[in-house]
Amino acid sequence: MTEHVNTGFERGTDGPKVILAGIDGSESSLRAAAYAAGLARRQNALLALVYVQPVMAAGASLGAPVSEATEEIAAGIVTEIREAAERLKGIFDVRWEFHTFRGDPYAGLVSAAEELTADAVVVGASEQAGHRIVGSVAVRLVKAGRWPVTVVP
């Protein structure tokens, strides 16, 4: 009888090393970030918090300073996360990074997951009623079938 000796780790078999949490400032996305932080802590993984900054089509803004507004939103979310992380520093000992990607939420999260070589993706459930019918970002990520996806209510 031959004994098989595993000489190394395979991706996906030794636990996640990068857990990506998509955040947009909504209550469900902040719960998703907290859940992902717990996973990252238990798995000794890096928590990658990702905000996808929307990009409006040229002319759609009718001259409004949209990029400045979304920059302010991103800055506000970064501040919120940093403050929360400082408060939790003694409770959750987790390595984390914050990243901003541009685009629609689905494409931005896919780009982030690929670029950061995410092993798992955690997102909040959509709080928009229409998404229950036509499909949310979370459903699209699950259907992509490229990473384990956890949807936090």
User: pTM for the full model?
Assistant: 0.72
Which pLDDT belongs to residue 133?
A: 47
Helices (H) and strands (E) in the chain, counts: 5, 5
In angstroms, rounded to a whole number, what is the distance separating the alpha carbons of residues 52 and 100? 6
In angstroms, rounded to a whole number, what is the distance separating the alpha carbons of residues 129 and 133? 8
Which pLDDT belongs to residue 80?
A: 77
Which pLDDT belongs to residue 78?
A: 73
Which pLDDT belongs to residue 73?
A: 72
Binned average pLDDT, 10 residues per bin, the chain of 153 residues? 45 73 86 92 92 68 58 75 65 79 90 95 78 69 92 89
Which pLDDT belongs to residue 110?
A: 95
Cβ-based burial of 94 (10 A; exposed 0-12, middle 13-18, buried ≥19): buried
Of residues 20, 67, 15, 61, the one with CA closest to residue 42: 15
Which pLDDT belongs to residue 62?
A: 55
In angstroms, rounded to a whole number, what is the distance separating the alpha carbons of residues 45 and 31? 18
In angstroms, rounded to a whole number, what is the distance separating the alpha carbons of residues 56 and 1? 64
